[in-house]
Structure 1
């Protein structure tokens, strides 16, 4: 008896009769779905576009429309596509295996929007069902099937943005990032749990423009089963979560952002994946994507599997995922999660709980090589994109080029700055004089990497409280401290990131199950914080001295960093050509300081362009009446100086204005 006209028998397949649908279709279906070059690339670990071949793709064979499938499962005895067409039962739509362990075939009359899974028979005869690792779309949780989806034919209109991006060196450009969780930024009032990507687009972009951010960073929007993981336990490395709509809805969101001159960054999680039964774990009955030894393949902190970076096909899977989001969705770069956990074999492990590398060390040599290859291939294929590492250790060269011995990222989160700064700000001001070094220490290493200064979601969860609630003192001091913190962040060297809600000065820490506290708008103190963040964003984007030299030591110099008695800091930021500069002074106590002298490099009038204590920000309005003239009095090793009234828990940004004349001599 003949078998299904579109499938050949696999090895060890039971002799089951199948309906014959025509010899011509049967022969046509036997054409190879992979070239020998593609199969070779899969085995080498440097195939960047496996998504063009693997997974589910609409196709036509001998005039019959349907879907072709391909999945890597080298240790399976049988692989079938199961769906409504075969009542989700193993045994009708078999796939054929190749020497590379890829199973492929064509299912006739299977169209876009149909759900499917792979049913695999393991070496011991056991059967299990898996979602497609390369699925482009997935069912809404708690359902776990993949969905056939055609990604093509979206009418992109962001050519100008992409052309500009390709020519941009972001190192000397302003980058100020608004990190958001799409499911809890705002929520519909009609009973639905989430807005769609399309619905978010207009309102979010309008808000981001109003606030002055250059980029949006989406927390992981890859498919994930558990809302409480915030997307960091990914099951769909090619599938945007269906919580917020379809893949084309996400494309619309990104296209809308680009047309509005806003970049969009993708939060990517190549360090680990969840143990859910439908996911990648023990995919073909063996440890395929993960290491078999839990000392290398299981993450004790998160209860997740760790990828086997020593297996070329796994590297292909992840490398192609990285390329996929930039290629198909036009994302402007990747923020790579938990890089430290990838670099160290003993990450979060005690003695005896980890396996050393081939040289006896603690470095994960395979993961390091993968990260280098990923950055090299991404920047080669997509000039102008960003790769940003969340890396919390002192590993050297994270943001250095691979050809100089680095990992190849553009930038790295400065977790040291975040921890030191927040620890300092948590102290009651009366004790800050004993911790002056907590803030000044950062400048010892500030230019060893290209840093982003993050105040991210991690700082306002798990009982840490909101940033406002973390500030010491009475309510007035809490708001003043928060304004001071933001002013300090925006004037220190480094690109900027703030998690949503920080600009509203929320009292409560972030809750992914509800929207931000938008009801705070209209309150004078909270509006003051939001206005200050917006003004800092605008100033940072227009003042060359605050962004051109974020990564070069020539753009920064201390003026005053050892006045621990008064807890005052002062420094200078300079542009690349040294023609523009600003002076920044921070008073980290609630005591106003009159007549405080600060050295300045030039003569002239110094305009007070930002005063965090201004009334419009909710402050006490202590300042310098718009600015002060310099005097020919040496101070702090500089020939000129200015005398200032320093506001309590306040930050001043002073800029020389050449149009102003010297005051008349008495």
Structure 2
């Protein structure tokens, strides 16, 4: 080999783990690593290409010549090619030139394990290291408290490319600019976590990051890897957790990506019925292949270990679980038991969750799963998939469908609101008002509310207040927190100028108050995933479109009474049953003037009377604001 000599980072045990699908730290071995060997500085390269006849490293250091730096294949049938090239330094551009031994195909691929990539549309990998001095030790020591299922979990979902842009050229903010602008804003708003739509490198902006080519590299659109670490660090120091969208469900067929990597179906399933996704016209991982499982689980642990992520939200889980997902009857084949479940995927997801929680018990995994697949957020020891939480898509669709109706018709559709309570505790649910609900012609959340301007914003305040008092964790997409008027456009900033208008600023103040209420009141989070945390007072007042219920914490004194009026009719002396005697104190009402409401509020203390009502011995007469929610404590 010309100027190339092998100095393997692999031990025999590494190879055994890799072949068995149990090597969860592959990023320490495969890829490009700056090392010193026998007093010589250079880069060790290793790539998995089992059907290759020849592999070489091409880059700006050898004029992209495939003959200059060939790699050697290991003797152990692992399919790994490796070599050490002296003199190369951090920042060098490179790819792998791969000649297949099964056909005449030659591919030129980016490194699947690259830590850094050229900024799109360029596609080369960049030799890099991940040397960063973290300052978030206090957060990391205590994050089990922030990520616990009995703590408030309020998530702000962010697309970095369009949260805010700057200058006449509409440029992206950098990771370091986000570390000031975004962090300050999230702290002000009171969210507990930020969820980043995929920040792993992706070639095509309209994919929003969900078509990945650089699984181990934060996108260079916004800066260098250590700059993204700086952003995560800043969020942690401000007391904010970081959730990363993770996409193990599919990947694009870009020529420099994972598809047909070594001239064969290496990462994707060879059966197109399992290896191609018709909705997204992308390739699907072969979850039954051990080496692919090692790749994916290593990637998950990589972001938790090296970037201190606090949670992974796994995208498109439903598409992974079902063999017939978005496929015609002739486009799928039942499993060995005659069912439509993808058994390889189920096994993989269980192993993924087991690996995550075994190594990082203080984080969460969150499934975007839109079907009734059972026990998604139950431990694998109980037969579940092992996720910590699951998005409550049914609640989202039913609730938005209800709220778009004119108030005069709502009395006929109250079951759309109450139905969620029949299954809300079957999983650890997160209530999402996500990016998917403000694109593709759906309009913004605000513009889907019925009525005149006052009613639209009152309905929006009502929707958010109902969401924050409903059992479960919360997720709100950026812009929703101030009533963004236009549908989300990934090519431009949010409409921040709207905050000069009272109604929009009122929604912002409402979200600040709801986040504060959620964090302050134990009854809203201590038992948010338990039957013990919720009790109906009355769900059958369809005629008035009113719901009332109790949220419970560990101590009875923390119980909250919540009453929701889903019409614009003011209701005086509205009587509700109360579990015990004392007085009611209104601690929150969505109709407050600061939120843009009419400021119709209850007396400071409302006496609870020994008058039987709603199957309870005690009751109280309250006032219901138009399109409003009131939250009371019993003292």
The TM-score range, normalised by the shorter chain, is: over 0.9
Structure-2 residue corresponding to 1:278: 256
- Confirm or deny: 8 A CA contact 2:241 2:310 kept in the other structure: yes
Corresponding residue SS for 2:15? helix
Corresponding residue SS for 1:112? coil
Structure-2 residue corresponding to 1:183: 161
1:626 and 1:109 mapped to 2: Cα distance?
76
- Confirm or deny: 8 A CA contact 1:627 1:654 kept in the other structure: no
Is 1:241 aligned with 2:188?
no
Corresponding residue SS for 1:301? coil
Is 1:498 aligned with 2:476?
yes
Structure-2 residue corresponding to 1:147: 126
Corresponding residue SS for 1:438? helix
TM-score by length of 2: 0.98
Corresponding residue SS for 1:94? coil
Structure-2 residue corresponding to 1:59: 35
Structure-2 residue corresponding to 1:509: 487
1:168 and 1:481 mapped to 2: Cα distance?
31
Q: Deviations over 1:50-75 (max 9, x none)?
A: 00000000012222211100000000
1:452 shift after superposition: 0.4
1:349 and 1:125 mapped to 2: Cα distance?
33
Is 1:336 aligned with 2:334?
no
Structure-2 residue corresponding to 1:126: 105
1:430 and 1:119 mapped to 2: Cα distance?
66
Structure-2 residue corresponding to 1:609: 587
Structure-1 residue corresponding to 2:115: 136
1:129 shift after superposition: 0.5
2:402 and 2:145 mapped to 1: Cα distance?
40
- Confirm or deny: 8 A CA contact 2:7 2:83 kept in the other structure: no
Corresponding residue SS for 2:620? strand
Structure 1: runs of 5+ lacking an equivalent: 7-28, 659-666
1:637 shift after superposition: 1.3
- Confirm or deny: 8 A CA contact 1:612 1:619 kept in the other structure: yes
- Confirm or deny: 8 A CA contact 1:81 1:95 kept in the other structure: yes
Structure-1 residue corresponding to 2:11: 35
Q: Deviations over 1:540-573 (max 9, x none)?
A: 0010001001011111011111111110000000
**Aligned pairs (5 A) from 1:158-557:** 158-166=136-144, 170-189=148-167, 191=169, 193-557=171-535
Corresponding residue SS for 2:503? helix
1:188 shift after superposition: 1.7
2:474 and 2:530 mapped to 1: Cα distance?
16
1:572 and 1:234 mapped to 2: Cα distance?
44
Structure-1 residue corresponding to 2:619: 641
- Confirm or deny: 8 A CA contact 1:166 1:382 kept in the other structure: no
2:246 and 2:9 mapped to 1: Cα distance?
29
1:190 shift after superposition: 5.7
- Confirm or deny: 8 A CA contact 2:147 2:363 kept in the other structure: no
1:402 and 1:188 mapped to 2: Cα distance?
46
2:308 and 2:539 mapped to 1: Cα distance?
44
1:211 and 1:347 mapped to 2: Cα distance?
38
1:444 shift after superposition: 0.6
Q: CA separation of 1:192/1:587 partners in 2, compared to 1, >3 Å: closer, same or farther? A: closer
1:75 and 1:369 mapped to 2: Cα distance?
26
- Confirm or deny: 8 A CA contact 1:178 1:500 kept in the other structure: yes
TM-score by length of 1: 0.94
Structure-2 residue corresponding to 1:662: none
1:265 and 1:273 mapped to 2: Cα distance?
20
1:332 and 1:451 mapped to 2: Cα distance?
18
Q: Indicate which of 59, 67, 72 corresponds to 1:83.
A: 59
1:33 shift after superposition: 3.0
Q: Deviations over 1:481-534 (max 9, x none)?
A: 000000000000000110000011011011111111110112111111110111
Corresponding residue SS for 2:447? helix
1:459 shift after superposition: 0.5
Q: Indicate which of 72, 75, 81 corresponds to 1:96.
A: 72
1:293 and 1:245 mapped to 2: Cα distance?
38
- Confirm or deny: 8 A CA contact 1:281 1:287 kept in the other structure: yes
Corresponding pairs, count:
632
Q: Indicate which of 68, 77, 96 corresponds to 2:44.
A: 68
Structure whose CA Rg is larger:
1
Corresponding residue SS for 2:549? strand
1:359 shift after superposition: 2.0
Q: Deviations over 1:429-477 (max 9, x none)?
A: 1111111110111111111100000101111011100000011111111
- Confirm or deny: 8 A CA contact 1:167 1:383 kept in the other structure: no
Q: Deviations over 1:18-75 (max 9, x none)?
A: xxxxxxxxxxx34433111101111111111000000000012222211100000000
- Confirm or deny: 8 A CA contact 2:251 2:284 kept in the other structure: yes
1:191 shift after superposition: 3.1
- Confirm or deny: 8 A CA contact 1:607 1:627 kept in the other structure: yes
1:312 shift after superposition: 0.4
Corresponding residue SS for 2:347? helix
Q: CA separation of 1:220/1:31 partners in 2, compared to 1, >3 Å: closer, same or farther? A: closer
Structure-2 residue corresponding to 1:16: none
